[in-house]
């Protein structure tokens, strides 16, 4: 995709464990018109999958928080995982502390964004990256359609009609109003390709929030009913405990009708 000037936008991956900060940074990046967020993940494991999957989308820049939930300074381990070279994405640390600046630049980090982020600072960062990556910026846009399998046939699906993606027994499935089909891509590759259209609710599930019809809590267990409609059963999706509150906040942020406490 291209920005307002017709220049192809930078493809960005955001690695940030706190949903409000992650969502705000994504909004600033896409609001600048200079970048397209093709993936936004909240854990180090998801970041590793997005960066190492053989089907991963080519990236221009990775924004990484230093302190992820799983451990102190784990974001720096993600930075070390990113290869160096002309075709490698640039790395920007997006964190609340200045104390890691020396280590960051020793690792080849291009820029260092301090929280709270501002539009001006994010735009300056993106322009600096665009100046240093002219070849990468000219690459093609992420796919807008999905090709799946049904026995010996290929099925072409629009991204906006997908309910959810499921990983099960080393296979990947896409759930749609037309049925369930097989995919060759991993969940990490799918998440990197379609970015904010999808939400990771479980290590084995990505869902399209626009098709969530019910959020059910039973003790410590949470489930979603996704894609249900007249004459259609929909699909029941488990929600990981550590993602339940973040998911609830996300769904309520785009809805009205419930009294907030």
pLDDT attached to residue 96: 76
* 142-158 residue pLDDT tens: 556 788 888 878 888 88
Q: What residues does CATH 3.40.50.2300 cover in the chain? A: 10-137
Going edge to edge, which strands form the sheet with 212-218? 212-218, 221-226, 235-239
Please give the radius of gyration of the chain, using alpha carbons only, rounded to the nearest integer.
19
Q: Which residues does residue 206 pair with via DSSP β-bridges, in sequence order?
A: 165, 200
- What's the CATH number for 145-253? 2.40.50.1020
Residue 5 has pLDDT above 60, yes or no: no
Choice among 129-133, 137-141, 209-213, 221-225 with the minimum mean pLDDT: 137-141
Please, what's the b/e burial string for 49-83 (b: 16 or more CB within 10 A of its CB; e: otherwise)?
bbbebeebbebbbbbbbbbbeeeeebbbbbbeebe
Cis previous bond, 116, omega within 30: yes
Side-chain-facing half-sphere of 169: CA atoms under 13 Å: 1
* 161-217 residue pLDDT tens: 899 999 988 889 999 988 999 988 778 778 777 766 788 899 899 999 989 999 998
DSSP code of residue 211? G
Residue 102 vs residue 89, higher pLDDT: 89
pLDDT attached to residue 127: 92
SS3 110: coil
Residue 123 has pLDDT above 70, yes or no: yes
Give the closest residue to 74 by CA, choosing from 83, 65, 82.
65
Structure tokens at 146: 């999905």
CA dihedral over 75, 79, 82, 86, signed as positive or negative = positive
Number of DSSP helices (H) and strands (E) in the chain, helices first: 8, 15
DSSP code of residue 234? -
Architecture category of domain 10-137 in CATH: 3-Layer(aba) Sandwich (3.40)
pLDDT attached to residue 115: 86
pLDDT confidence band for 101 (50 / 70 / 90): low
* 14-71 residue pLDDT tens: 888 888 888 889 889 988 889 888 888 888 888 888 887 766 678 899 999 887 765 5
Give the closest residue to 166 by CA, choosing from 133, 205, 128.
205
Predicted TM-score (pTM) of the model is 0.59
- In percent, the amount of the chain with pLDDT more than 90 equals 19
Give the closest residue to 172 by CA, choosing from 189, 157, 196.
189
pLDDT attached to residue 229: 66
Q: What residues does CATH 2.40.50.1020 cover in the chain? A: 145-253
* 111-122 residue pLDDT tens: 888 888 899 999
């Amino acid at each position: 995709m291209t920005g307002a000037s017709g220049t192809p936008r930078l493809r960005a991956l955001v690695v940030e464990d706190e949903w409000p900060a992650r969502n705000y940074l994504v909004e600033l990046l896409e609001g600048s018109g200079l970048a397209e967020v093709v993936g936004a993940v909240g854990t180090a494991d998801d970041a590793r999958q997005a960066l190492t999957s053989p089907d991963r989308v080519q990236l221009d820049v990775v924004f990484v928080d230093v302190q992820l939930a799983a451990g102190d300074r784990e974001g720096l381990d993600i930075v070390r995982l990113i290869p160096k070279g002309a075709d490698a994405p640039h790395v920007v640390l997006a964190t609340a502390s200045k104390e890691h600046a020396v280590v960051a630049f020793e690792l080849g980090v291009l820029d260092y964004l301090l929280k709270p982020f501002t539009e001006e600072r994010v735009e300056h960062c993106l322009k600096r990256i665009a100046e240093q990556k002219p070849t990468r910026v000219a690459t093609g846009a992420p796919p807008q359609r999905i090709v799946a399998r049904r026995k010996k046939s290929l099925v072409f699906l629009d991204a906006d009609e997908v309910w959810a993606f499921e990983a099960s027994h080393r296979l990947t499935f896409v759930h749609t109003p037309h049925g369930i089909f097989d995919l060759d891509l991993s969940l990490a590759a799918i998440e990197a390709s379609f970015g904010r259209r999808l939400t990771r609710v479980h290590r084995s599930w990505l869902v399209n929030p626009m098709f969530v019809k019910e959020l059910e809590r039973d003790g410590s267990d949470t489930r979603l009913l996704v894609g249900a409609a007249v004459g259609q059963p929909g699909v029941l999706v488990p929600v990981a405990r550590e993602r339940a509150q973040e998911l609830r906040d996300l769904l309520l942020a785009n809805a009205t009708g419930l009294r907030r406490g």
